[in-house]
């Protein structure tokens, strides 16, 4: 993550965002290491949660670029930035992206830790036991996201 001042855009400090990025990476790695992700085809629920975590980490990685008006690698993957112009700093949009990242981080913990199978059924996915390690890592993501507020 590029080191830039975040005062003008009211973004959380770079260290706080870095901590969340590290926790997301830990969760992504744990999901990818699960034997059910190694099978062919991959377990659909695990794959969905893994993809959701990957996209959340990507969004976090682009916050400084949104704030500074720099080009994004995959702007089509971030609804909040649709229609903004490269070269135009947009701290308000960067703050929107950060809010989205924080909400997605909490949702990851809810998806993984919820004892209610309805969460997955509502999304058209089958319920799955993620195991204690993945649950701990998802909780760490939500805890790190709490520091963004």
The answer to whether residue 72 sits within a structural domain is yes
Q: Using CA atoms, how far apart are residues 108 and 114, in angstroms rounded to an integer?
A: 10
Q: Please give the pLDDT value at position 9.
A: 52
Q: Which residues, 6 or more positions from 27, have their beta carbon under 8 angstroms from its beta carbon?
A: 53, 108, 134, 137, 138, 140, 141
- Write out the residue range of the structural domain in which residue 48 sits: 14-146
Q: Number of C-alpha atoms within 13 angstroms, CB side, residue 15?
A: 0
| Residue 8 reports pLDDT greater than 50 | no
Q: Please give the pLDDT value at position 85.
A: 75
The answer to whether residue 23 sits within a structural domain is yes
The answer to whether residue 26 sits within a structural domain is yes
The answer to whether residue 64 sits within a structural domain is yes
pLDDT band at 116 (very low <50, low <70, confident <90, very high): confident
pLDDT band at 62 (very low <50, low <70, confident <90, very high): very high
The answer to whether residue 67 sits within a structural domain is yes
pLDDT band at 110 (very low <50, low <70, confident <90, very high): very high
- pLDDT tens digits, residue range 79-96? 777 777 778 888 999 999
Q: Looking at the 3D structure of the chain, how many domains does it have?
A: 1
Q: Is 115 exposed, middle or buried (0-12, 13-18, 19+ CB in 10 A)?
A: exposed
């Amino acid at each position: 993550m590029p080191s830039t001042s975040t005062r003008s855009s009211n973004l959380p400090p770079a260290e706080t965002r870095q901590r969340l990025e590290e926790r997301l990476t830990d969760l992504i790695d744990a999901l990818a290491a699960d034997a059910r992700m190694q099978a062919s085809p991959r377990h659909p629920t695990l794959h969905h949660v893994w993809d959701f975590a990957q996209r959340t980490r990507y969004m976090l990685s682009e916050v400084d670029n949104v704030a500074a008006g720099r080009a994004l690698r995959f702007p089509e993957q971030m609804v909040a930035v649709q229609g903004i112009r490269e070269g135009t700093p947009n701290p308000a949009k960067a703050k929107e992206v950060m809010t989205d990242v924080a909400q997605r981080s909490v949702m990851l913990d809810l998806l993984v830790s919820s004892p209610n199978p309805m969460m997955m059924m509502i999304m058209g996915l089958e319920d799955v036991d993620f195991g204690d390690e993945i649950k701990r890592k998802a909780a760490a993501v939500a805890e790190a996201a709490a520091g963004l507020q």
